[in-house]
C-alpha cells in the first residue's frame, strides 16, 4: 500500500511541477492560438505546459506581442517543466523572436553574475546563468547576426548576458567563429576595458574563437587587469585556442 501511495504522491508532485505526457499534449492539438494563450493562464501547471508545447507549432514568431506574452509568463512561472517548455518554444523562434528576447536579458530570475565569478573548470563552454541568454544560445544559428548586432547597442547589463550567448553559440557552431564576427567582441574591449565583469565575460567568450585575433585580445586584457579570476579565465581560453591553432 505504501508503494502505491508513494507512486501517487510522486505523480502528483510531477503534475504540480508541470509535467505532462504525450497523450495529454496530443489532446490539445486542435486548440487555436488564442485558446492556447488562454490556457497559459490556467491554475494548473500541467495545462500551462501543454499550451507551451503546442504553441511551438502555432505561434506567429513575428508577432512581438505574442513573444512578449510568453516572456512575461516565463518571468512569473514557478513550475519547472512549464518553464522548460516555454524556453523550448522561445528557442524555436526566428530572428525577430531573438530581437524581442534581448529586451529581457538579465531581467528574469536573480541568478546572473553581478561580479566576476569563479573561472570555469569545464572543457566546454559553461552554461549561462541567465535564462534568456541560455535560451538565445540554443536557437538556430541563423539568429547569430542579430545577437552580434545587439552587442553594440544594448546597455551594459544586457551586454554582460549577451556575450555569454554569443560565445556559447560560436563555440558549438564553429563556422560562426570567424575573424569578422570576432571584431564585434574586440569592439567591446575598447568600450568596457575598465569593467572587470565585462572583461571576464570577454575573456571567456574568446575561448569560442580559436583565432590569432582572439589571442591578441587576451594579451591586451592581461595587461590591464590584475583580477585573479580574470587571469585564470585568460589562461583557460588561451589553452582552448592553442589546441585548435
CA pair distance 158, 166, nearest whole angstrom = 12
Residue 102 lies in a domain: no
Residues 83 and 116 in one domain: no
Say how many domains are in the chain. 2
Predicted pLDDT at 118? 84
Q: Over the stretch 32-70, which tens digit does the pLDDT of each residue have?
A: 999 999 999 999 999 999 999 999 999 999 999 999 999
pLDDT band at 15 (very low <50, low <70, confident <90, very high): confident
Whether 176 contacts 182, CB under 8 Å: no
Q: What range does the domain containing 81 cover?
A: 1-92
Q: Over the stretch 165-209, which tens digit does the pLDDT of each residue have?
A: 999 999 999 999 999 999 999 999 999 999 999 999 999 999 999
Predicted pLDDT at 208? 96
Residues 142 and 52 in one domain: no
Residues 67 and 170 in one domain: no
**Burial tier of 96 (Cβ tally within 10 Å: 0-12, 13-18, 19+):** middle
Average pLDDT of the chain to the nearest whole number: 93
Residues 164 and 197 in one domain: yes
Residues 224 and 171 in one domain: yes
Residues 76 and 118 in one domain: no
Predicted pLDDT at 10? 83
Q: The C-alpha cell of 46 is what? A: 500541467
Amino acid at each position: 500500500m505504501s508503494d502505491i501511495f508513494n507512486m501517487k504522491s510522486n505523480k502528483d508532485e510531477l503534475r504540480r511541477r508541470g509535467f505532462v505526457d504525450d497523450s495529454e499534449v496530443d489532446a490539445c492539438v486542435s486548440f487555436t492560438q488564442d485558446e492556447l494563450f488562454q490556457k497559459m493562464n490556467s491554475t494548473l501547471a500541467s495545462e500551462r505546459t501543454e499550451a507551451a508545447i503546442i504553441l511551438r507549432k502555432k505561434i506567429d514568431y513575428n508577432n512581438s506581442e505574442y513573444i512578449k506574452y510568453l516572456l512575461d509568463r516565463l518571468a512569473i512561472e514557478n513550475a519547472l517543466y512549464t518553464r522548460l517548455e516555454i524556453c523550448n518554444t522561445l528557442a524555436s523562434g526566428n530572428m525577430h523572436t531573438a530581437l524581442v528576447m534581448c529586451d529581457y536579458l538579465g531581467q528574469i530570475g536573480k541568478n546572473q553574475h553581478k561580479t566576476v565569478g569563479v573561472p570555469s573548470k569545464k572543457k566546454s563552454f559553461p552554461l549561462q546563468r541567465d535564462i534568456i541568454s541560455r535560451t538565445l544560445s540554443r536557437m538556430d544559428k541563423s539568429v547569430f547576426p542579430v545577437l552580434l548586432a545587439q552587442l553594440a547597442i544594448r546597455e551594459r547589463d544586457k551586454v554582460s548576458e549577451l556575450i555569454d550567448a554569443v560565445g556559447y553559440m560560436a563555440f558549438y557552431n564553429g563556422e560562426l567563429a570567424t575573424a569578422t564576427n570576432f571584431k564585434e567582441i574586440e569592439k567591446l574591449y575598447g568600450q568596457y576595458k575598465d569593467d572587470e565583469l565585462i572583461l571576464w565575460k570577454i575573456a571567456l567568450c574568446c575561448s569560442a574563437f580559436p583565432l590569432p585575433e582572439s589571442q591578441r585580445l587576451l594579451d591586451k586584457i592581461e595587461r590591464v587587469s590584475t583580477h585573479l579570476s580574470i587571469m585564470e579565465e585568460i589562461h583557460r581560453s588561451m589553452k582552448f585556442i592553442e589546441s585548435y591553432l
